[in-house]
Chain A
Amino acid sequence: MTKPIDHASTVTRDEVEDFLYHEADLLDRWKLDDWLGLLTDDASYYVPPNDKPEGDHRFTLFTVADDIVRLRERIIRLKDPNCHAEFPPSRTRRMISNVRITGTEGDLILVSANFAIYRYRRNETVPRLFVGCYRHKFKLTDAGLKIHERRAILDAEELGAMGAVSFLL
């Protein structure tokens, strides 16, 4: 009897941290096509509603619930100068911390991390602050680590002054 592979032990926290820092850097520099390259071909991206952070997007109205098809369309939109909510594009700075490998789900590696994203917009001197945690599912592929599921959970009770979530959290 062979011992089942412990997928969590196939990567180190250092590797996951490096990956998340690289991802944050791509997003902050609006290298969105490069960012898409970090995802699996069946990836999804979720931002649950502030009042139901543990909700399921099939039964609960989310802020964002993209499958890969819609996520690719979102990138097309974000790169378009007619994406008025992000023109000129927001200047963002992402702080990632408290990175942990929390377990596995089949061959997926579960990762949690905290984030604080400062978002500066044209005509606004005070940044809009987005604080929360990531619950990601990674897959180790022949091309290295990829994101299979990406979930950004905001801490605030309501979006309020954050306004629209028109950029990628």
Chain B
Amino acid sequence: MLDKPTQNGRSNGSYDGKLVVEDLENLTFQVHRKVFVEPDILEQENRAIFDKCWIYVGHASEIRNPGDFRTRHVAGRPVIFCRDRQGNVRALFNVCRHRGAVVCREREGNTRQFYCIYHGWSYNTDGSIKGIPGDDAYPPNFNKKGMGLVPVPRLEHYKDFYFANLDPDAPDLHTYLAGAKDYIDLVVDQSPSGRMEIISGVQEYDMKANWKLLVENSVDDYHLVSTHATWLNYMRNSGVNVTPAKGHMLPTKGFGKDLGNGHLTTDNPNYRGRPVARWISVYGEDAKADIDAIRNELVERLGEARAARVADTNRNLCIFPNLVINDGSSVTVRNFTPVAPNLMKVTAWALGPVEETEAQRARRLHAFLTFYGPGGFATPDDVAALELAQQGYAAWREVPWTDLSRGMGNSQEQLATDEGHLRVFWRKWDSMMSGAPA
């Protein structure tokens, strides 16, 4: 059968029209590269996934005070994420009810109203209509009160991480997050008061690659040695032990985990240092005592075992479909949105405990840039790898199948360098795209 996925990856088209093909008998798992290039697939993803799932909007710390706002895009829609004058968190479509112009043009700020420059309609921070110039010209049945900014259909949060859902009938966020909640807890537990904050400064950059490649890349530890050879070299030069553990590709034996509902994570014993609370030489001798103090606070508050869980593991968490929280060399919250099959926009922030001292915050940010971000020592090489993959997909008809079978022989545990957790994403993607119940 020509259409069947084969070992050499050659085929003349899709396999019975299936895009994700799992064979538990022969232990193969293949994804058709059509999914990275076809515009109709992106359109279907927008309807079946982005319009149905909980999509990250922002963090409560970004809108601390009444009147604070941030303009965002959620599943491609312009949205105002704000705290109204009464203190309630809102997510409103940033669209004038009159003729549809975007009403809030600034990136962030504090305001008493949102004002449309086209005809001067204005709105309160809770979205209600404030003023319509010359409203006496409207007919008697014109419902001025009903002309407020439209809120997103659903807005819920878990520990200050706010998500929107365009589907009014979606299950609640806490149910949706399933096992991912435990991994968010591990991040939030870094703060003595359980309050984390988004640090000022955002990284917004494009990748000329399909958005699903960044899901894979964010949790794929198999690529670390080859893609990030220069980062490993930098760590080695700085006195960090990055020698692979016996029988492993990486310095420690880490795992890939299925968290339910398409969410997944890596879960690795740390070797690369953590601002909370694992010293490495990159931080300098001066930082040792301070890291010890952070560690002691963790132990006092959480007990030895939980403190070790928080401080001595790093976890790259992917919340389906497009939010990644990397709790590694530092904490990054990273969100990405497809613009075209071969182009995504990435937005990334740093996250830290609100209690941090100036020195601790500076260390956290320094640690962030050792690896993450468009100017970091690792992320640019991820961008390069993903863009090369996308370039390769120009031959998707001739070389159609991506192999994701690493670790399929191990039924007991999946290593972070296996692809068991990547298969979790693809199964969920496939079920949503084929309209199966979530």
Contacts and interface: CB of A to CB of B under 8 A. Distances in A.
A155 to B, nearest CB: 14
Given A73-B234, A123-B391, A49 B201 contact: yes
A166 B380 contact: yes
B227 A84 contact: yes
Contacts of B380: 84-86, 164-166
B375 A47 contact: yes
Nearest to B226: A82
A50 interface: yes
B377 A55 contact: no
B374 A165 contact: yes
Interface in B357-379: 358, 361-362, 365-366, 368-370, 373-375, 377, 379
Nearest to A161: B206
B369 A65 contact: yes
Contacts of A161: 206
Contacts of A86: 380
Interface stretch (B12-20, B302-310, B381-389, B413-421): B381-389
Given A58-B358, A161-B206, A63 B374 contact: yes
Nearest to A49: B201
Interface in B4-27: none
Interface in A59-107: 59-66, 70, 73-74, 76-77, 80, 82-86
A60 B375 contact: no
A159 B205 contact: yes
Contacts of A57: 362, 365
B237 A73 contact: yes
B66 to A, nearest CB: 22
Judged by DSSP, the binding face of A is: loop
Interface in B338-358: 345, 349-350, 358
A67 to B, nearest CB: 8
A65 B238 CA distance: 17
Interface string A95-124: 000000000000000000000000000010
A130 to B, nearest CB: 12
B350 A61 contact: yes
A164 B201 CA distance: 16
Interface string A15-31: 00000000000000000
Contacts of B350: 61
Interface residues of A, number: 39
A62 B205 contact: no
Nearest to A58: B362
Contacts of B358: 58-59
Contacts of A159: 203-206, 374
Given A63-B374, A158-B205, A163-B206, A84 B385 contact: yes
Nearest to A66: B369
B229 interface: yes
A164 B202 contact: no
A65 B366 contact: yes
Contacts of A123: 391
Interface residues of B, number: 42
B102 interface: no
Contacts of B246: none
Interface string A32-54: 00000000000000011111100
B107 interface: yes
B233 interface: yes
Nearest to B199: A61
Contacts of A58: 358, 361-362, 365
Nearest to B202: A51
A86 B231 CA distance: 14
B375 A62 contact: yes
B365 A76 contact: no
Interface in A147-166: 157-166
A20 B349 CA distance: 33
A84 B205 contact: no
B249 to A, nearest CB: 16
B63 interface: no
Given A62-B369, A85-B380, A163-B374, A52 B238 contact: no
B200 interface: yes
Nearest to B374: A164
Contact of B233 (A48, A66, A76): A76
A52 B350 CA distance: 14
A47 B207 CA distance: 20
Contacts of B385: 84
B230 interface: yes
A85 B368 CA distance: 19
A82 B230 CA distance: 6
Contacts of A63: 203, 373-375
Contacts of A164: 205, 374-375, 379-380, 383-384
Interface of A: 47-52, 55, 57-66, 70, 73-74, 76-77, 80, 82-86, 123, 157-166
Of all A-B residue pairs in the complex, the 5 with the closest CB atoms, nearest first, are A61-B201, A85-B380, A164-B380, A158-B204, A166-B380
Given A61-B373, A63-B373, 16 more contacts: A48-B201, A51-B107, A55-B200, A55-B201, A59-B200, A60-B199, A60-B201, A70-B369, A70-B370, A73-B237, A77-B230, A80-B233, A82-B230, A86-B380, A159-B204, A163-B206
25 contacts: A49-B203, A51-B204, A52-B200, A55-B200, A57-B362, A58-B358, A61-B201, A61-B368, A63-B375, A64-B369, A65-B365, A65-B366, A73-B234, A73-B377, A76-B233, A76-B234, A76-B237, A77-B233, A77-B377, A84-B380, A84-B385, A85-B384, A163-B206, A164-B205, A164-B375
